């Protein structure tokens, strides 16, 4: 990525990587078929295929509609999944034009693997919250209650950006004596499910299959808000999730891919993202 936001993280595949790669392999076949169908349906229209992190679903759908309206004759096709799955699909040859990641680590790895045209650019920020069902059967009122016996916790897998961020928040909370000795381990001991993307975490809590989950603030959309309660994570312990975007190397439609990236970074695109609760990507790191 560019000089301002670039970090040289060593990226290693964790225990869930093999499962993610299996999902990716199945996904590539689906994406290839979908791309072919989209091309036929679009006729002479210019199609831009965007691979975007699951947490961007609503915001990017709206961006796509506005981009098409601003550029008659274009069509934006989306594939939403966990960032790690999308990166694997691109590496296996899925025909993507644009890659929008929920973290810098996976984008950095994609650059090192020659999958994107550098530099990637930061376009949005996010933060984490804890969600519980509206009925709150486990009686979770604050973050300390996550460690109580009988609580059923769901997180995204540690290979998923939201899962890694969530575990980081628990570690940060564990440094505060108010949460008691061994807080992170006690909370993770309540883990009953690990999901391949953050939207699945929301679904498990919404359906009452789990008592709590850690998700992005932007995942508490109007569609699920009435079914959930939100417990805020203090800024001192929270993370800032930074989202980078880049044109995919060998993109089928590189000119329009670049145009879409520019639109996301434009004042109009940033206004859409902020309307969906995202912060600006160029926020100082402090």
- For residue 227, what is the domain's CATH number? 3.40.190.10
Determine the distance from the C-alpha atom of residue 265 to the mean position of all C-alpha atoms in its chain, rounded to a whole number.
17
Q: Of all helices (H) and strands (E), which one includes residue 112?
A: helix 104-112
In a domain, 285, yes or no: no
Whether 121 and 137 map to the same domain: the answer is no
Whether 80 and 141 map to the same domain: the answer is no
Whether 121 and 22 map to the same domain: the answer is yes
In a domain, 150, yes or no: yes
Q: What is the mean pLDDT of residues 159-175?
A: 98
In a domain, 274, yes or no: yes
pLDDT, tens digit, 9 for 90 and up, residues 180-233: 999 999 999 999 999 999 999 999 999 999 999 999 999 999 999 999 999 999
Whether 213 and 272 map to the same domain: the answer is no
DSSP state of 66: H
| CA gap 167, 156 in Å, rounded | 10
Q: What is the DSSP string of 1-61?
A: --TTT---------TTHHHHHHHHHHHHHHHHHHHHHHHHHHTTSEEEEEEEEGGGHHHHH
Q: What is the reported pLDDT for 283? A: 60
Its domain, for residue 270, covers 17-125+242-280
In a domain, 152, yes or no: yes
In a domain, 267, yes or no: yes
Whether 81 and 137 map to the same domain: the answer is no
Q: What is the mean pLDDT of residues 155-171?
A: 97
Q: What is the DSSP string of 162-221?
A: HHHHHHHHHHHHTTSGGG-TTHHHHHHTTEEEEESSHHHHHHHHHTTS-SEEEEEGGGS-
Structure confidence at residue 117 as a pLDDT band (50, 70, 90): very high
Whether 110 and 143 map to the same domain: the answer is no
In a domain, 102, yes or no: yes
Known binding residues: 55, 83, 162, 198, 216
Whether 144 and 269 map to the same domain: the answer is no
In a domain, 12, yes or no: no
Known binding residues for molybdate: 55, 83, 162, 198, 216
What's the total number of domains in the chain? 2
In a domain, 286, yes or no: no
Counting Cβ atoms within 10 Å, is residue 71 exposed (0-12), middle (13-18) or buried (19+)? Answer: middle
Q: Is the pLDDT of residue 114 over 90?
A: yes
Whether 176 and 248 map to the same domain: the answer is no
Whether 92 and 141 map to the same domain: the answer is no
Regarding beta strands 74-81 and 46-53, do their DSSP bridges make them parallel or antiparallel, or are they unpaired?
parallel
Whether 103 and 142 map to the same domain: the answer is no
Q: Is the pLDDT of residue 285 over 90?
A: no
Q: Is the pLDDT of residue 156 over 70?
A: yes
Q: What is the reported pLDDT for 139? A: 98
pLDDT, tens digit, 9 for 90 and up, residues 37-92: 444 444 457 999 999 999 999 999 999 999 999 999 999 999 999 999 999 999 99
Distance, first Cα to last Cα, the chain: 19
Whether 92 and 133 map to the same domain: the answer is no
| CA gap 166, 170 in Å, rounded | 6
Q: What is the reported pLDDT for 45? A: 77
Whether 58 and 69 map to the same domain: the answer is yes
Tokens of 221: 């959309």
pLDDT, tens digit, 9 for 90 and up, residues 4-40: 333 333 333 344 443 444 444 444 444 444 444 444 4
Return the closest-CA partner of residue 243 out of 93, 57, 96: 57
């Amino acid at each position: 990525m560019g000089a301002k936001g670039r970090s040289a993280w060593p990226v290693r595949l964790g225990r869930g990587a093999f499962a993610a790669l299996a999902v990716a392999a199945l996904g590539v076949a689906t994406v290839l078929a979908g791309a072919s169908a989209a091309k036929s349906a679009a006729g002479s229209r210019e199609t831009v295929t965007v691979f975007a992190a699951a947490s961007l679903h609503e915001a990017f759908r709206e961006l796509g509609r506005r981009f098409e309206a601003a550029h008659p004759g274009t069509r934006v096709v989306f594939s939403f999944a966990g960032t790690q799955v999308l990166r694997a699909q691109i590496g296996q040859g899925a025909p993507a034009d644009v890659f929008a990641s929920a973290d810098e680590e996976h984008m950095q790895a994609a650059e090192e693997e020659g999958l994107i045209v550098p530099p990637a650019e930061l376009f949005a920020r996010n933060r984490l919250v804890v969600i519980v069902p509206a009925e709150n059967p486990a009686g979770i009122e604050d973050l300390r209650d996550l460690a109580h016996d009988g609580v059923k916790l769901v997180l995204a897998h540690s290979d998923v950006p939201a899962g890694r961020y969530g575990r980081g928040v628990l570690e940060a909370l564990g440094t505060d004596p108010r949460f008691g000795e061994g807080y992170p381990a006690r909370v993770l001991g309540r883990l009953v499910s690990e999901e391949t993307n953050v939207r699945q975490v929301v679904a498990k809590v919404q359906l009452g299959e789990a008592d709590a989950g850690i998700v992005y603030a932007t995942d508490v959309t109007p569609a699920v808000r009435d079914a959930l309660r939100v417990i805020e994570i203090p800024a001192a312990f929270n993370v800032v999730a930074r989202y980078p975007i880049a044109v995919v190397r060998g993109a089928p439609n590189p000119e329009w891919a670049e145009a879409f990236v520019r639109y996301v970074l434009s004042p109009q695109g940033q206004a859409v993202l902020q309307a969906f609760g995202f912060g600006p990507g160029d926020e100082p790191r402090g």
